[in-house]
Structure 1
Amino acid sequence: MSISSALSNALGGLAVSSKRAELVSANVANVSTDGYARRELSLEATSYSTQGGVRVSGVTRHVNEQTLSERRLAGAAQAHSTALLTHQSRMETLVGDPTDASSLSARLADFEASIDAAVSRPDLLNRLEDVAYSAAQVVSKISGMSQSVQDARQDADAQVAGLVESLENNLKNVEELNRLIIAAEVNNRDASSLFDQRQKLVDDISEIVPVHQMKRDFGEIALVSVGGAVLLDGSAVDLSFSGTPTIVPHMTVENGLLSQVLMNDRPAAASLSGGALEAQLTIRDELTVDFQEQLDVIVLDLSLRFQNPDLDESIGPDDPAIFTDNGARVDENALVGLSGRLAINDLISHEGAFDVSRLRSGLGAEFNGDVGDNSLLSKMKEALNEASTLPSGLGQSLFEMGSAFETHVASDRLRLEESHSFQSARFAQLKENELADGVDTDVEMQNLLLIEQSFAANARVIQTIDDLMNTLLRM
């Protein structure tokens, strides 16, 4: 080997060592950076005509595509289950624990207990006042629950608007990164940092809507949702959603009062399933609606028990009973949103006449009857314990209906909690598998020692050649 060949080889070795050290430094510095993939130098031998040695042919990003795809799908499922569990926990807190004095069942139990106390001493006005007060507490609890359900729908609607905006922006950014990567690949430039940015964006997209990533020429990718919608292939789709600032019970997608997610101006919800976006739409359009319907049925049952013509003969067929629909008689054909309109009859309300003696003599009585007459109060007590006549009441007493509602909400939360635990464990395992293919700092430190040795060896060759040249020149 000639001196010039040896010098060329040594200089090439120094250049390779320098680049390898740079990659090791980047790997270690980004060990915890989301989207970062371990880099490794690709080398190739130079031809004999160029005096031999090695040169850098490129930088390889090590990514296990199968593990990455599975982790993304698991992340979408976890985001979906997290949103549903958070909502259901909110609903369970809203209904309350039976041991909590402010829970729905506790309010109904207090109302029944106050009637029991009034039956034993109908002559005591303070006991009649307790009946009116506990009835007002039931109304307050139910009205507050109804309002909170609509607040949850509005929150979900706002979340959908934010997720759609993020999804559209991320798709546009991936489209731009595709363009930059193609340019880098065509011009033989290292595009590793661009690949990292794109991987992180696709991760974010997949959490909102789970996607499959498909390769195209020159490093470009296309994204297709699990539901079959092409979100990006060359250019990104146009997504739109109009948020609704105020939502009331009768507003639904079906009657056109709530917005749908549109993709290229067409409804797209069915093809965007599986992630955080679908979860928020499910909360807005299904879970909260179902909760409201169940609550409305309990309110209707409560109201009809006291509107029974055999209970208080002093009120007419069109007159409101103790519980009213914003002051009017409750109509079972106007069920939607009834719990939000529930009110106490003005005759016994603190905001109204507050004549609690009517609880003893009758709401429509023209004069105060016998103060010892507890017949009306006894009928009220019996009405609370009678089997429901509603098809969905299952022949239960009012208290049993309230308790069944609480149990249903709690059991749904437990079911979602189990699902969330499974999805979280699955995601954690796949994330761990992905990290196992990533940067190992111990290995990188070992590589750094090898790089140091290689650098020193090449430097020694150059030093030796320098000494030889100096010796020749002195001869």
Structure 2
Amino acid sequence: MTLGSALSSALSGLAANTRAVDVLSGNLANALTEGFAPREITLAATRDSRGVQVTGVVRQVDQGLLSDRRLADSARAASEVQAGFARAVENAVGTPDAPNSLTGRLAAFEVALETAANRPEDTNRLAAVLSAAQGLTTGINDAAADIARLRTAADRDIATAVQALNAGLKDVAALNAQITKGQSRGHDITALEDQRQRAIDALSLIVPLRQLPRGDTSVALVTTGGGMLLDGRAVSLTFEPAPLVTPHMTYEGGHLSGIAIDGTEVTIAADRGPLQGGRLGALFDIRDRAAVEANAKLDALARDLVERFQEPGLDATRAPNAPGFLTDAGTAFAAENEPGIANRIAVTRLVDPAQGGALFRIRDGLGAPLAGPPGSGALLGALSRALTQSSSLPSGLLGGGTRSVADHAATLISSLSLERVATEERQSFATGQAAEFRAQELATGVDSDAELQRLLLVEQAFGANARMIQTIDDMLDTLLRI
């Protein structure tokens, strides 16, 4: 080996060691950086085998673990949305221990009727009946309004998620192009690959994705439901949110928007279709199932209340087909109008002095033109018994069987509590699973001890190459002195 070739080999070694130090120090500096993958330098002999050259810097990523972690993150995001909705619905109706809960308001109404029946001549007790009835109907109205707001918010959040998905897919497509171009020019593309991984991580929270490698260092993205979202170019998703979602509005009825991929409508559901799962699937499940079912349960209870006071023979003074003590927005209730009755249930204005009515009609009958005997409490007793009589709900969402109003309300609250507990259990499992995959991923990340050991080896190699250069320099000096 000539001195020139030896010097060339030593210089190539110094250059490779310098690059290795850059990579190792970068690994240590980014040990806690989210989405950073450890780098490893790859070396090869030069063409004449008399030196070493850097052939590239490779990211060390376990693609299988990364895919599993993304799916777990997607399931966690979905469970968080569903659990949050279940808690909000339960709070809207109220738990039995809360004074303003549905059962609390119903109990106050029952007590007010019983108390007034014992002293029907007491105007204050009649006023208490009116106040308790209005409190009950207002509570049902407010709970229904809260559910409607949650459903409207879910529809609005779907639009936000679709916008984020479109923007994220465009970002990944742009990064694909930059990575491919950088690779062809021999540039270090690892930072761009980190950025692409973080972008795909964010998209996987919206809808569960799988990453497919392509031969030019780009990637394709396909959902677990089989929808191709990115392969060369990003698809375009469209969705039209509704300004307000009311109980009668459904996707099946054409009142609410679905999602179209490149102009083609796709199936939407939490458990089927190309966009199933993830936060997007959970939002569709809330809008099209969970909120609809919660509203239907509340409607069934409201309908039962109205029909109990609308029974023929309960109030002899009430005209045929006239509304009872509780009304459908002031009119008699018809079975075909059940959807949304929880939003419309109200106390008849005939007993409300603020609306031109009179309190004595609570005692003497809705059709009474004048006050009757003040000591007659027969109608008050009948109204009280109407609440405690067993009847079955026309809707099957709260189960079969005949119950009093209080038992129907308890069944409603129990069903909502069970749904909340079930969603929280799913959230706990999904959160634990996602945390475990995250921990495994971190374990395969930057190992500070191993990186420091490599630095020591690089230092030794650097010293050896420097010593060779020094030796060559000494030999050249000796030759020049001869």
- Which range, TM-score by smaller chain? over 0.9
Corresponding residue number in structure 1 for 2:349: 346
Corresponding residue number in structure 2 for 1:111: 109
The partner residue of 2:326 within 323, 328, 331 is 323
**CA 1:309–1:463 in structure 2 vs 1: closer, same or farther (change >3 Å)?**
same
The partner residue of 2:464 within 457, 463, 466 is 457
Letter in 1 for 2:22: E
What is the 5 A alignment of 1:64-463?
64-268=62-266, 269=268, 270-349=273-352, 351-392=354-395, 394-463=401-470
- C-alpha contact (below 8 Å) 2:349/2:357 kept by paired residues: yes
Shift of 1:389: 4.0
Letter in 1 for 2:391: S
Letter in 2 for 1:377: L
Distance 1:350 1:366 in 2: 14
1:44 maps to 2:44:
yes
Letter in 1 for 2:418: S
Deviations 1:404-430 (A, max 9, x none): 000000000111111111111111111
Shift of 1:354: 4.8
Letter in 2 for 1:87: F
Letter in 1 for 2:95: D
Shift of 1:449: 2.5
Distance 1:395 1:228 in 2: 46
> 1:271 is paired with a residue of what secondary structure?
coil
> 2:141 is paired with a residue of what secondary structure?
helix
Deviations 1:76-110 (A, max 9, x none): 11111111001101111111110100111111111
Corresponding residue number in structure 2 for 1:53: 51
Shift of 1:445: 2.1
Distance 1:364 1:449 in 2: 98
Structure 1 stretch displaced more, 308-317 or 440-449: 440-449
Distance 2:442 2:185 in 1: 31
RMSD: 1.5
Letter in 1 for 2:203: I
Distance 2:19 2:376 in 1: 98
- C-alpha contact (below 8 Å) 2:236/2:262 kept by paired residues: yes
Deviations 1:213-261 (A, max 9, x none): 2121111211111111111112111110111121211111122111111
Distance 1:66 1:467 in 2: 54
Distance 2:326 2:75 in 1: 44
> 1:351 is paired with a residue of what secondary structure?
helix
**CA 1:253–1:363 in structure 2 vs 1: closer, same or farther (change >3 Å)?**
same
- C-alpha contact (below 8 Å) 2:38/2:446 kept by paired residues: yes
> 1:333 is paired with a residue of what secondary structure?
helix
Shift of 1:189: 2.6
Deviations 1:17-40 (A, max 9, x none): 111111112212222333321100
Letter in 2 for 1:21: V
> 1:420 is paired with a residue of what secondary structure?
helix
Distance 1:196 1:350 in 2: 70
Shift of 1:375: 0.6
Shift of 1:331: 1.6
- C-alpha contact (below 8 Å) 2:365/2:379 kept by paired residues: yes
Shift of 1:273: 0.3
Length, aligned pairs only: 473
Normalised by the length of structure 2, the TM-score is 0.95
Distance 1:28 1:351 in 2: 75
Unaligned runs of 5+ in 1: none
Structure 1 stretch displaced more, 198-207 or 97-106: 198-207
Deviations 1:269-300 (A, max 9, x none): 22100110010011111111111111011000
Corresponding residue number in structure 2 for 1:30: 30
Distance 1:344 1:394 in 2: 27
Shift of 1:350: 5.5
Structure 1 stretch displaced more, 334-343 or 30-39: 30-39
**CA 1:4–1:324 in structure 2 vs 1: closer, same or farther (change >3 Å)?**
same
Shift of 1:69: 0.9
Distance 2:164 2:480 in 1: 70
Letter in 1 for 2:389: E
Letter in 1 for 2:243: P
Letter in 1 for 2:33: T
Distance 1:32 1:329 in 2: 66
Distance 2:352 2:290 in 1: 33
Distance 1:418 1:199 in 2: 30
> 2:126 is paired with a residue of what secondary structure?
helix
Distance 1:402 1:156 in 2: 26
- C-alpha contact (below 8 Å) 2:328/2:345 kept by paired residues: yes
Letter in 1 for 2:43: L
